[in-house]
Amino acid sequence: MNLHAHRAIDPATLGALVLQADHWRRSPASVGGPAGHKEWSHFCIFGRDLDLLINFSLMDAFGAIETPRLTVLMREPGGDWTGDVDAYASSALEIDEGGVDLRLGPNRLRFRDGAYELDLALRRQALRARLRLELASRPALTTSVPLADGPGMRWFVVPRLEASGTVVWRGGRRELVRAPAYHDHDWGSFRWGGDFSWEWGIGLADEAVPWTLVFQRISDRGRLRTLSQGVLLWRGDRHLRTLHGSELSVHSEGRTSTRGALRVPRIMSLVSPGRAADLPARIRVEARRGADALDIEFELGDLAQVAIPNDVGRGATIVSEVRSEVRVEGQVRGEPVCFEGPGLVEMNRAAA
């Protein structure tokens, strides 16, 4: 299903598209759904003085009850990260099934008047935020993305938003004004620790032309076999091109150090203390279809890690959130494409 068109769409129509597709599918085994349902609503904000990652998730482990979580990671300009994962009892969850809205303890996610509204506070960190993210591009909804040992997952994406609001950290107050931001909503039934891994990269141009790029590659756990890969490109609010499968050639180079990286929840540093990780220093993507050509480079930098207990066997899956710089050159539909800007690469790996 594709939710974008090639002509201008007014904010009310964009909002209607969000309400049509960005709703909670919540279907854990406790309410008669398949075991292993996973679902999350994810936001990434690139501010002048800080970056923010915010993730509301519902995780139904096999043979266990659904656990709602809030993950917040904040990065300061020098590369210092802070944040945590707060898990809540199911009784603390109020959810608009079939809608966008969610309340998790004192934390709220709402969609009002064409914008996402976030109000959140971590329990053990002096970090609070109240934000409004206005739509700045058409959303898109994918078909099922395969996993090696499950029925796959789907994702809904709003590639560009503008975030404004306040972040309070250690008593200091920071303001965001129309900062570029990204949102996706993902769901599916699978096992953490199963035979899959992923790389997910986003890049938002900070130049006059607001280009936005999303890259995804899903592989088996050993990353020997690619199951799905693609690049989506937007110019302003308009989707310009999707290239996928054999139209992409992906190369990883070098090694990024994880020494000193923040890992949350903090307790997982004791349960899964390993720090070695097979994370590249850069990812290069060559995308070609006919006369369309894109050369993409993600230069990976500092990072934070989220440790998720496996549903399969012992150990944990480590999701690394790596601040990156993105450079893109090429031509699409006869139009030159050349930009660079802030980005993020998310990589799912087995704990080392």
pLDDT digits (tens, 9 = 90+) for 150-168: 667 889 999 999 999 999 9
Three-state SS annotation for 302-313: EEEEEEEECCCC
- Classified by CATH at the fold level, domain 192-352 comes out as AttH-like fold (2.40.370)
- Classified by CATH at the fold level, domain 1-190 comes out as AttH-like fold (2.40.370)
Q: What is residue 28's predicted lDDT score, i.e. its pLDDT?
A: 66
Is 8 in contact with 170 (CB distance < 8 Å)? no
Between 16-20, 49-53, 90-94, 328-332, the lowest mean confidence (pLDDT) is in: 16-20
pLDDT 10s digits, 36-92 = 889 999 999 999 999 999 999 998 877 667 889 999 999 998 999 999 999 999 899
The half-sphere exposure of 301 on its side-chain side, counting CA atoms within 13 A, is 15
**Residue 91: which H helix or E strand, with range?**
none
Q: Where in the chain is the domain with CATH 2.40.370.10?
A: 1-190, 192-352
Quick one: which of 238, 39, 57 has its CA closest to 156? Answer: 39
pTM tops 0.85, yes or no: yes
* Cα–Cα distance measured from residue 160 to residue 139, given in angstroms and rounded to the nearest whole number: 9
Q: Which range, 133-147, 219-233, 321-335, is most confident?
A: 321-335
Higher pLDDT, 313 or 132: 132
Q: What is residue 8's predicted lDDT score, i.e. its pLDDT?
A: 54
Q: What is residue 3's predicted lDDT score, i.e. its pLDDT?
A: 36
User: Any bridge partners for residue 185, and if so which?
Assistant: 41, 156
Q: What is residue 282's predicted lDDT score, i.e. its pLDDT?
A: 97
